[in-house]
Structure 1
Amino acid sequence: MYSKKTAHRGLAGSSQPSVRSFTTPTSSRWAAINTQNALNPPSAYNPPSTLQRRSTGSGVGSGRASGTISRPSGTDQRPPFPIGPDENRGVVCAVCDSNNVNRTVGLAFVNVPIAEAVLTNVADTQCYQGTIHKIQMMEVSRILMQPTPASSVQSGLALRPHIEEELRGLPIVERAKPDWSADDGMLALQRVAFTEDLPSLEVAVKDNFHLLCAFSAAMKFLTDDMGIDFDDHSVRIKYQPPSDAMMISLPTIRSLELIQNSINSSSKDCLYGLLNRTTTPMGSRVLRSNIVQPSTLAVVLNPRYEAVGELVHKDGLLDKVVEALQKLKPLGDVERLLTKLVILPKDGSIYESEQAINNILKLKAFLTAIPDVFQSLSDVSCDLLLEIRSNCLPARADRILGILADTIDRDAAYATKPLELRNQRVHTVKPEISASLDIQRKLYEDFSRKIHDYVNELEDEIRVKVALKYTATRKFYLKVNAKDFGPQGPPSVLVNTTTVKGAIECQTLKLMGYNERINEAVHRAIVESDEVIKSLLSQIRPRVSTLFKYCECIALLDLLASFATSTRTYAYKRPLIHTDSYALVGGRHPILDSRGHNKCIPNDYFVTEETRFQIITGQNMSGKSTYIRAIAMLQIMAQIGCYIPAESACIPIMHSLFARVSTDDTMEQNQSTFSIEMREMALILRNVNNKSLVIVDELGRSTSTQDGLAIAAAMSEALLQSNATVYFATHFSELAKALAINIGVVNRHLRTVTEYSESATHVPVTNMLYRVAEGPEPEVSYGIALAKAVGFPATFIAHAEKVAAELRAEAQASKRDRQEMEEAKRRKLVANLVRQLKLAYVSDAGDEELMEYLTQIYDDFCAKMIGSIDDEDAIVEEDSNENESDDEGDGQHDGAEENMARVARKGQYAVRRPSDLGLFGGGTDDDVDDYDDLYQPGSAANAIVIDDDEEFDEDHMSDMEDMGNDYSEEMY
């Protein structure tokens, strides 16, 4: 039995027998994570000293100077990761730009933690918004750039000033020109890419000079400066065409709260929080990436819809898939685990050896779970789920498990509790492979048994119940109830005592001695196991592509299961991808909808060529902002392959999404609300096109009313010219009236109802219906309503209402040109006819149904067009009487009257030229004459005559479509 003095002397001064040199766990851990810290710099608010020094690495055979890490100058030190929290920070980005008017940029993103590289190229604009957006979406930790020529800076062609301005706080590492070699980039790609991926990758990148230069610089930086060396054929390399993903601007991601709630960063009230029902970190990462970069490929989205539908509707399928995925949850991020296997180690620290054993045990558990995933998909029928199942064949996993079985003990399994994990580390390698390992294992077992025997002896000695506890830092320690000792306190044999919640945690000198000897045995066992594990890893690395394929399939399956869970929970419906139509019936804001179906009022969304610019008006708190935000979020959900909260949906694919909805001042950037509005609208106007969805909420309200209206009108005109789909919420009723004559503009409003009472003391109450309605917001005479409520005489109220109506009529007459409005109305009718005929042309309806539909749209068009002509002729006749037109003019008018009568009798289609061709580009008198020759009322060029005994057939339909197209072309 140890005396206090002997035990103390033995622990403090005894020399330890050496088996193999190794560093202490603490220092080894620091050395091992040093590289990871360099790849994951802290926030720019507290930059580490390592980012402010010069790198010491040098290029292999290049003789180049060391790279310099610098931060862009400026007072703003905002964090370089503005989207939201994410565990994925080890992304290095190399940027190679052409420095000329072509503005071709090659980008190489190497995500070190998951051993993945994404290569892309951007044909950018003058401000390099495409490049900056891509960097923001990938959330890089640092940017590699080549020296910028002075001539490019002076000419304004340089990319670096734009990156420094837009991505402040992000370290920029300048690399010498020899690092940027297309030949070296191709060689690096051929060395590290998966063998099965090489043929397609070589075809995709062989002519992308700037892309290969960027990849060369990225790989040299990782090898020379970061000490990261990937094994051969161990990196997933993906070529991503720039057109395959929707562009969502960073302000849009923030303002729509796609990834993070703007008020509470830990709240799940954001799109990512709503849809994240994933089980694995891989699935969560794919979901996040999809939300900020939705797909623009129908061949990607439609298979996802089918897979989600099958998971939802096939009995028991979703539950089996989720149950299989749950078995992978304790393993954490398997992709990061595989990365640790393929990065060749630089030293032999105890910490790295321990982690290698842990990784082997996790890998064994991962491969053991693959058959369960495969079996859960045994009854699937859709192509995507069948593809996932075929890529999860257990046979390939069994081959790798066979390699593990030759070295790893059959009962060894990954554990999460510290003591169990230590036991598994010691017993991972099978017995009789290493004699010295077996000796250390025997010592470990003997001392562990002695500790338990000693605790039993200690209980008898101090006559209280003693619990043996273990943590990774304190090792074995004792825990006793403080009340068991009474007022005299614990005996002197117990040292290092600490009272925690009525219990005494302590040790004894003898227990500390046992801990020391067990630690020694564990370290020696790990050192002896290290060579065996290294040999095992060298056999597994050539098969790492199979393991990464498993991870990709599981991540995609996890994503689809998450979508299916949300669909089943909230009764989502499948959207249909269509090239022209935009029809959403009963659409609901997904966040509000998740709080309860009764709290979210559904609304319809319809967009055609005639309604692509929708001005949304309404009172404050009527739901305008929610209405336009909902369409943006539903568009994103549809383009990530998820069902959406709507009764039915037909949605086109959008290539970009922009939102100007937030109105917060940014004091740290010295930017006012108005300044932010102008910056974000400038970004939108530079990038918007006919494949864009734009939502704008109350633009111009942060300045004076006059200036705000002028700015809103000017920007609305610019958005109109882009042919984008726009939802424009505003309080400027004048804006809706001014733009009403343009083709594509419609005004809708959010309905409200005001309740009145005959009681003089009752104040009128306005109820928000949160439903959209056609047309402008009704003008309500609140003064008259209040007068009625407080009891004015009925005759007074009636006269006041009559006068108010007359004044409104006069105001309308003075603000609008009726003839111009009628002409605009007819143009919309013709454009709508063309759209309907095109839809009918591609329809799958039967002949009878199609003929009935064509007859109906023909009758509707004729009725509306003749009504429009009647209205305009009434105006023309009124003007003729006032101006006393000459005889020739009267004759022409009479001819028009006769022609209209003939149209009414025979059901013809007739049109009149617009009163002002200059409205569409400044037509001349010759243009007007040419127009009259082509579209003279009653001429064969613009009339289809169907006699009473004739049937409407395909020839008539073709004639109508040709005339509609001709008329539309002439109009524009």
Structure 2
Amino acid sequence: MDIDKNKLSPMMKKYLETKEQYSDCILFYRLGDFYEMFFDDALLASKVLNIALTGKACGLEERAPMCGVPYHSVSTYLAKLIESGYKVAIGEQVEDPATAKGLVKREVVKIVTPGTLLENDTLENTKNNYLMTIYCEGQDSSITYVDITTGELNSTLINKNNIKDEVAKISPAEIISNDKEIVKSLKSLSQMSNIYLNYDFDQDLLSEKVLYNTFSREYLSSLNIENNNLYKSISIALNYIRNTQMIESTNISKINIYKSTDYMALDIFTRVNLELTQTIRGGSKKGSLLKVLDYTSTPMGARMLRKYIEQPLTNKTKIDYRLDVSESIKNDFILREELKNSLSKIFDLERICAKIAYERVMPKDLINLKNSISMLPNIIKTIVNSKVDILKDFADNIDPLYDIFELIENSILDEPSNNIKDGNIIKSEYSKELEELRDISNNGAYLIKDIEKREREKTGAKTLKIGYNKVFGYYIEMTKSALSQVDLDESYIRKQTLVNAERFITPELKEIEDKIINAEDKIKNIEYDIFKLIRNSVYENIERIQIVANIIAELDIYLSNAIMANKYNYVKPTINTSGRLEIKDGRHPVIEQIMGSENFISNDTYIDDENKINIITGPNMSGKSTYMRQVALISLMAHIGCYVPATSANIPILDRIFTRVGASDDLSQGQSTFMVEMNEVSQILSNATKDSLIILDEVGRGTSTYDGISLAWSIVEYIHDNIEAKTLFATHYHELTELENKYKNIKNYSVQVKEDGDNIVFLRKIIPNAADRSYGIYVAKLAKLPDEVISRADKILSELEKNHIYNATSIDKSNEYINSEISDFENNQVKKYENLKENNFIQEPKQPVQLIFNTETIGNSEYEEFVDSILEIDLMNSTPMDIMTVVYELQKKAKEIK
């Protein structure tokens, strides 16, 4: 929108000057009790937020488009704009409008982006809100991700090819990178995971100054990161946070350097297919693995549990430790109950620390901090009394934070105001000056009455009284008749003469007046100053609080695991490095909760070096997919350090879990369902190892039957010959069951079916046999397709089975089959030739045509080229016309060579 700035009113001119500095943001401009938006911002925001668009006189002929939101509920509107992919600059009044001369001074005090949200009511308490930075230099890259609401900062070196998997694992809210190609390559993933991609990269973000302002040189040197790209990605993150929050203090106190190989790699498709933290349909927590496992009592524990699920361990020692701690709590009922009682009373310590660091903490937050700290001695005592040795480290490492508790206890009112500038925050006894002012404010009327009584006695004027008006304030009034009978001293200063009375003031009265009138403002200012001092004192100890918060979160997870295991009768898995995967009576953790444990059919699984690939056949709706998913989920749960739904489980250390279950069109990338499927399979075959678990469900169904069988067969063989991964392969292609006869490491399994006349019962039990039918038509019958369709399908199936040209029972027989087909083809051609000859349609040449190649005269290269062209002919996929054309070209070539 073109605007003539010279014609604008002073306020609107100042608004535009501010807007130009933050042109990539929607500017929230504080005017009184509202944040207003003007011109293009107003046009955009009114649509996104669905609020009324009005206008404001601005000096131009037409009113400026305008819309606004109340400042007290701004977080709701912020969340909607952020979710819609916009950044917001918050322009605040930075001086008191009552004392301002001319325009009230306004400045942008912060920029809100998806990765830098701090407001609690716009964030999910059980999920981290990560800002991710990616720095690339050639194939070497570094990733840093930070949650400013908790102070957590993690960083790793990573190969460029593995960035997508790492992004899928972290699921950040926002990504910044110096490599635009990387940002573009993440577009599809960002759409799936609702990640904001920041395409604007400022080279100033690479400045290392903020890094050294945040951490000591000694600390950075101890991390050994000076000579790699970690410095770059960390600096980008810290600079971006500083630029958006516009404050020097921070709650980031340490850097966690990790290796991506410390965790199981899970691509985005596996995470979605297994519904780890949300369902495929609806994106709901209910129906996910997280919902089943989450019995945490604190927000910190809930966030850490999500992180455990998204980042399973690959270290046996660490996994066993988690399991052992959970076991110790599970086996002690009193410990379990007392811990839950104490933990349930602890507030979100991590996010309270963030509010303190970024100077957005409210008095109520400090009371919540104090009440949380009051639970720490109970937790320590509970652990010590339990005599559980493995928990002693927790008790020893929990700092009771007595000094912080006492500071808040002595200073902050138990029920303070919500706003730090409204007063009613600090206890009177904490400050002598505050106590005096409150006494004056609360007892002002009594003080005036006391002065009035003393002055009557002093002057002897019984009609003397003290009054008040806005012009003179407090005054002493005496009638003229009374005044003639008294002798006033010099402290009485005449202020006003009335018809029948005189009004005076005294220094004492004015002093009391000043205290009474200004007491409230002074009280508020003193309380605000004291509150800032308390906030700063707590900030100096923020790292201590964060360490305690982390310990509480970890303890909370182990308690949650124990509660969940006890409630659902889960078992502690054994972790092995031998490669054997053995599950007895395994159940699907989510489906079991939906169906009820009494209705869910458990199943066994056994995979080892002699039984690496399981081909699973059986009808639709019989439970193949559920069974395979449950094997993947049980394996993943074990790597989390979690009890599992089974009567026993022996799980090997896996480096990755892959699932290829279902597919959908990716039209935005121009890819069909089958193309998406093949891309996923390609990723699996390229990245899986012998230590991976692969779940493949109905691969090849998106193309023709013969293509599908060929691909499925070849994929299984490739996994067997080249990868040797533990594999569950569900298929309707019964031809694949012949692989068991060819390879000793491939076994057939199927879902047991019971037939009773025309009725079929899916028993949902996996047995070591191949299925002989697919029962697809029966499933269609269950879906209530018209009887006419079902009947006709039965007849067609019968005919196809009777006349199916492809009846080879093994792909190994394919050569024999093809040769016989070629032979039949040649015999048919001979017969046709003889028939045409008999009817004089063709005449036999007088002498056979012979092509004689003399390599001495034509040269080896020409000869080899000619032979290659013959060998490249695809007889089985060529039409007669194709063959005629090829032969014609060969004849021409032969003549040239001869």
> How would you bin the TM-score normalised by the shorter chain?
0.5 to 0.7
Equivalent of 1:112 in 148, 157, 160 = 148
Which residue of the partner structure matches residue 196 of structure 2? 170
Task: Decide whether aligned partners of structure 1 residues 619 and 229 sit closer, same or farther in structure 2, where only a CA change above 3 A counts.
Answer: same
Equivalent of 1:339 in 342, 351, 354 = 354
Give the distance between the partners of 2:665 and 2:748, measured in 1 at CA.
30
Give the distance between the partners of 1:86 and 1:366, measured in 2 at CA.
17
Which residue of the partner structure matches residue 178 of structure 2? 146
TM-score, length of structure 1 as denominator length: 0.58
Equivalent of 1:121 in 153, 157, 160 = 157
Task: Give matches, 1:501-580, under 5 Å.
Answer: 525-580=523-578
Give the distance between the partners of 1:521 and 1:132, measured in 2 at CA.
61
Equivalent of 2:411 in 408, 411, 415 = 408
What is the deviation of 1:600?
A: 1.2
Which residue of the partner structure matches residue 51 of structure 2? none
Which residue of the partner structure matches residue 132 of structure 2? 93
Could you say what secondary structure the match of 1:206 adopts? coil
What is the deviation of 1:90?
A: 4.4
Task: Decide whether aligned partners of structure 1 residues 815 and 171 sit closer, same or farther in structure 2, where only a CA change above 3 A counts.
Answer: closer
Contact 1:577 1:653 in 2 (8 A): yes
Which residue of the partner structure matches residue 686 of structure 1? 686
Contact 1:245 1:295 in 2 (8 A): yes
What is the deviation of 1:266?
A: 4.2
Which residue of the partner structure matches residue 218 of structure 1? 237
Task: Give matches, 1:228-307, under 5 Å.
Answer: 228-231=247-250, 234-266=252-284, 268-307=286-325
Task: Give matches, 1:643-792, under 5 Å.
Answer: 643-665=643-665, 671-720=671-720, 721-738=722-739, 740-756=741-757, 764-778=758-772
Query: Which residue identity lines up with residue 398 of structure 1 in the other structure?
Result: Y
Task: Decide whether aligned partners of structure 1 residues 362 and 239 sit closer, same or farther in structure 2, where only a CA change above 3 A counts.
Answer: same
Contact 1:614 1:728 in 2 (8 A): yes
Which residue of the partner structure matches residue 969 of structure 1? none
Give the distance between the partners of 1:770 and 1:117, measured in 2 at CA.
46
Query: Which residue identity lines up with residue 254 of structure 1 in the other structure?
Result: V
Which residue of the partner structure matches residue 327 of structure 2? 309
Task: Decide whether aligned partners of structure 1 residues 734 and 643 sit closer, same or farther in structure 2, where only a CA change above 3 A counts.
Answer: same
Query: Which residue identity lines up with residue 139 of structure 1 in the other structure?
Result: S
- Length, aligned pairs only: 626
Query: Which residue identity lines up with residue 93 of structure 1 in the other structure?
Result: M
Give the distance between the partners of 2:376 and 2:718, measured in 1 at CA.
55
Contact 1:437 1:529 in 2 (8 A): no
Could you say what secondary structure the match of 1:295 adopts? coil
- More off after superposition, 438-447 vs 214-223: 438-447
Contact 2:353 2:546 in 1 (8 A): yes
Give the distance between the partners of 1:606 and 1:691, measured in 2 at CA.
15
Q: Tell whether 2:215 aligns with 1:190.
A: yes
Contact 1:185 1:215 in 2 (8 A): no
Give the distance between the partners of 1:357 and 1:311, measured in 2 at CA.
36
Contact 1:147 1:177 in 2 (8 A): no
What is the deviation of 1:85?
A: 7.0
Task: Give matches, 1:898-913, under 5 Å.
Answer: none
Query: Which residue identity lines up with residue 623 of structure 1 in the other structure?
Result: G
Equivalent of 2:86 in 48, 58, 71 = 48
Give the distance between the partners of 1:400 and 1:92, measured in 2 at CA.
30
Which residue of the partner structure matches residue 12 of structure 2? none
Deviations 1:559-597 (A, max 9, x none): 111111110111111001100121111111111222422
Give the distance between the partners of 1:781 and 1:281, measured in 2 at CA.
48
Give the distance between the partners of 1:379 and 1:208, measured in 2 at CA.
49
Give the distance between the partners of 1:444 and 1:671, measured in 2 at CA.
75
Give the distance between the partners of 2:216 and 2:70, measured in 1 at CA.
31
Contact 1:142 1:173 in 2 (8 A): no
What is the deviation of 1:364?
A: 1.3
Which residue of the partner structure matches residue 587 of structure 1? 586
Which residue of the partner structure matches residue 369 of structure 1? 375
Task: Decide whether aligned partners of structure 1 residues 664 and 382 sit closer, same or farther in structure 2, where only a CA change above 3 A counts.
Answer: farther
Task: Give matches, 1:369-388, under 5 Å.
Answer: 369-382=375-388, 384-388=390-394
Contact 1:120 1:239 in 2 (8 A): yes
Q: Tell whether 2:169 aligns with 1:137.
A: yes
TM-score, length of structure 2 as denominator length: 0.63
Give the distance between the partners of 2:274 and 2:383, measured in 1 at CA.
36
Give the distance between the partners of 1:306 and 1:519, measured in 2 at CA.
66
Deviations 1:916-953 (A, max 9, x none): xxxxxxxxxxxxxxxxxxxxxxxxxxxxxxxxxxxxxx
Task: Decide whether aligned partners of structure 1 residues 741 and 185 sit closer, same or farther in structure 2, where only a CA change above 3 A counts.
Answer: farther
Give the distance between the partners of 2:383 and 2:739, measured in 1 at CA.
58
Task: Decide whether aligned partners of structure 1 residues 526 and 275 sit closer, same or farther in structure 2, where only a CA change above 3 A counts.
Answer: farther
Deviations 1:516-543 (A, max 9, x none): xx99998864432121122122222222
Give the distance between the partners of 2:263 and 2:336, measured in 1 at CA.
28
Contact 2:87 2:113 in 1 (8 A): no
Between Structure 1 and Structure 2, whose CA radius of gyration is higher? 2
What is the deviation of 1:108?
A: 1.2
CA-based RMSD? 4.2
Could you say what secondary structure the match of 1:359 adopts? helix
Give the distance between the partners of 2:142 and 2:582, measured in 1 at CA.
38
Give the distance between the partners of 2:150 and 2:350, measured in 1 at CA.
5
What is the deviation of 1:401?
A: 2.3
Task: Decide whether aligned partners of structure 1 residues 441 and 750 sit closer, same or farther in structure 2, where only a CA change above 3 A counts.
Answer: farther
Deviations 1:658-687 (A, max 9, x none): 211133445666654323312322332332
Task: Decide whether aligned partners of structure 1 residues 49 and 299 sit closer, same or farther in structure 2, where only a CA change above 3 A counts.
Answer: closer
What is the deviation of 1:337?
A: 0.6
What is the deviation of 1:428?
A: 3.1
- More off after superposition, 634-643 vs 24-33: 24-33
Q: Percent identity?
A: 22
Task: Give matches, 1:846-865, under 5 Å.
Answer: none
Give the distance between the partners of 2:439 and 2:670, measured in 1 at CA.
65
Give the distance between the partners of 2:775 and 2:153, measured in 1 at CA.
64
What is the deviation of 1:713?
A: 2.6
What is the deviation of 1:430?
A: 4.0
Give the distance between the partners of 2:519 and 2:269, measured in 1 at CA.
57
Task: Decide whether aligned partners of structure 1 residues 111 and 431 sit closer, same or farther in structure 2, where only a CA change above 3 A counts.
Answer: same
Give the distance between the partners of 1:781 and 1:319, measured in 2 at CA.
51
What is the deviation of 1:727?
A: 0.9
Query: Which residue identity lines up with residue 331 of structure 2 in the other structure?
Result: H
Which residue of the partner structure matches residue 637 of structure 1? 637
Could you say what secondary structure the match of 2:312 adopts? coil
Unaligned runs of 5+ in 1: 1-21, 54-67, 72-83, 149-157, 193-197, 346-351, 448-517, 757-763, 784-806, 818-972
Deviations 1:756-779 (A, max 9, x none): 3xxxxxxx2211111111132246
Could you say what secondary structure the match of 2:384 adopts? coil
Give the distance between the partners of 1:146 and 1:441, measured in 2 at CA.
61
Contact 2:751 2:771 in 1 (8 A): yes
Which residue of the partner structure matches residue 892 of structure 2? none
Give the distance between the partners of 1:519 and 1:811, measured in 2 at CA.
102
Deviations 1:474-516 (A, max 9, x none): xxxxxxxxxxxxxxxxxxxxxxxxxxxxxxxxxxxxxxxxxxx
Unaligned runs of 5+ in 2: 1-29, 37-68, 92-110, 115-122, 446-515, 778-802, 814-898
Contact 1:413 1:424 in 2 (8 A): no
Give the distance between the partners of 2:307 and 2:142, measured in 1 at CA.
20
